[in-house]
Chain A
């Protein structure tokens, strides 16, 4: 190609700089809004200047952020076919992470819904589920793999047309110093799975457009999110619609909150969390 032949005026350094700078301000369907306070659709009950995260993640995309203790994280299945695979880590000590076994065993409940704690392996609440407009979510089935997606859709790489959720989480984790051995079992929001009496897993699938789930960060968190089809999604085509991610400042659950002693197990989980935060100086 000869200089200038591409028509972009990028033959020179100054021309290339002008060309690059002229792109700013374009709008994509999937993108972060920075600062988050400028997001066009803040929640009704949240002052825009409290927003700390506003981003839309395309199907087959991922995102990640470090959130302060007390932050509310709202995930919205805008068009009714998102599936948010989420991994949580204590940002102060990432070896403490989401433990899906304790998350279902300790509350005596396999299905995620309002008041359910997302527990760490240290007997503490990483995040509480505050609100969930519709149905339940999945803590059993995990995420798709590269090999699985290659067999299923023809490709599973992060850079390909049908990325596996685990490949996306691998990228999100890598940017926080997390490696394959740190990526344990995830929870998956917006796709419901139920267990039959014989132990069979039944995929009940999608919920409804504008369904959302709100999580409260009870510790400082590294949050990894992959938006990709559910592990048991039976559809031939790789089907996943955009996920809206919003977060805003708030306070962690306190003893005065009805959630604190919702169950005896949950109360001790909050006591353990407060014990850690106090000793660590997080609430000073």
Chain B
């Protein structure tokens, strides 16, 4: 662990909703995570170190062929940013999860996940063998029978991706800080896949990937 990560470990630990804690997981920097939530359960994502992109996919249970759709989510709410009140929708338009609390303000729906392959386009071939979110999604998804065909554009909690008037978009410095929390309610039984983003070539993690805390609560 780097010196800066040790420092982050002493950061605030988040704002949790009331209820019974079902799981409370510390996700190491660069690591994957997953969990299945029952309808009504809450998932809190705590940005322990600040400005840590948390790449996130959700699948309906038991039929995982119905899954989060960025396009349906932004079209239904008429806005590309996620915050309190935003509903994550499936490819069939169904409400999967609702953001019930958000201390950050806005989160990304457009940037998708970093991959070893796209890293070569964005930064050059020297990044080809760096760890990437798609690796985490594939590894963690395989535990649930999900494979490459099941990966779609994902949510990036705490990632800041503005769109300029001429359409220019990009990942810029974050607006999060240590201890900020976003809490989602599962609107149906749902499987959540997470990649705690390992990217070190853009500001999505402040150039320093840090741990996050994932807490499942039954209200």
Contacts of A201 in B (CB 8 A): 74-75, 78-80
Chain A stretch 73-118: residues in CB contact (< 8 A) with chain B: 95, 99-102, 104-106, 108-111
Answer whether residue B61 sits at the interface, using C-beta atoms and an 8 A cutoff: no
Q: CB < 8 Å: which of B71, B113, B122 contacts A141? A: B71
- Taking the closest CB of chain A, its distance from the CB of B94, in whole angstroms, is 7
Q: Which residues of A are found within 8 Å of B74, using beta-carbon distances?
A: 140-141, 201
Partner of A199, one of B106, B119, B134: B106
Of A21-29, A34-42, A143-151, the one contacting chain B is A143-151
Answer whether residue B110 sits at the interface, using C-beta atoms and an 8 A cutoff.
Answer: yes
Contact, CB under 8 Å: B122 / A265: yes
Q: Which residues of A contact B113 (CB under 8 A)?
A: 101
Chain A residue at minimum C-beta to C-beta distance from B66 = A180
Interface residue? B165 (CB, 8 A): yes
From B3-11, B23-31, B167-175, give the one contacting chain A.
B167-175
Give 1 or 0 for each of A114-143: 1 = CB within 8 Å of chain B CB.
Answer: 000001011110000000000010001111
A110, A141, A198, A269: the one contacting B167 at CB < 8 Å is: A110
**Cross-interface CB contact of A197 among B112, B119, B134, B165, cutoff 8 Å:** B165
Distance between Cα atoms of A272 and B167 in the complex (Å): 26
Inter-chain CA distance A279–B32, complex, in Å, is 32
The residues of A that contact B121 with a CB separation of less than 8 Å are 102, 106, 119, 123, 265, 268-269, 272
With contact pairs A101-B111, A185-B153 given, residues A121 and B117 touching in the complex (Cβ less than 8 Å): yes
Q: Residue B72 at the A interface, CB < 8 A? A: yes
Question: Would you call B163 an interface residue if the criterion is a C-beta within 8 Å of the partner chain's C-beta atoms?
Answer: yes
Which of the residues B94, B112, B120, B168 comes within 8 Å of A101, measured between beta carbons?
B112
Cβ distance A108 to chain B, nearest Cβ, rounded Å? 5
Instruction: Describe B's contact surface by its main secondary structure.
Output: loop
Partner of B91, one of A101, A140, A166: A166
Q: How long is the Cα–Cα vector from A203 to B106 in the complex, in angstroms?
A: 22
How many contacts A-B (CB < 8 Å)?
138
Judging by beta carbons under 8 Å apart, are A182 and B149 in contact?
Answer: yes
Task: State whether A101 and B110 are in contact (beta carbons under 8 Å apart), knowing that A180-B66, A197-B165 are contacts in the complex.
Answer: yes
B118 and A105 contact, CB distance less than 8 A: yes
A231 x B65 contact (CB < 8 A): no
Q: Are A147 and B110 in contact (CB under 8 A)?
A: no
For the complex, what is the distance from the CA of A111 to the CA of B151, rounded to whole Å? 23
A171 at the B interface (CB under 8 A): no
Residues of chain B lying within 8 A (CB to CB) of residue A175 = none
Binding site for B on A (CB under 8 A): 95, 99-102, 104-106, 108-111, 119, 121-124, 136, 140-143, 145-148, 166, 179-186, 194-195, 197-201, 231-232, 265, 268-269, 272
6 smallest beta-carbon distances between A and B, as pairs: A101-B112, A142-B71, A123-B117, A111-B167, A101-B153, A199-B81
Could you write out 15 A-B pairs with CB less than 8 Å apart? A95-B148, A102-B112, A102-B118, A105-B112, A109-B169, A110-B167, A123-B120, A140-B80, A142-B71, A142-B72, A145-B72, A180-B91, A198-B79, A200-B79, A231-B75
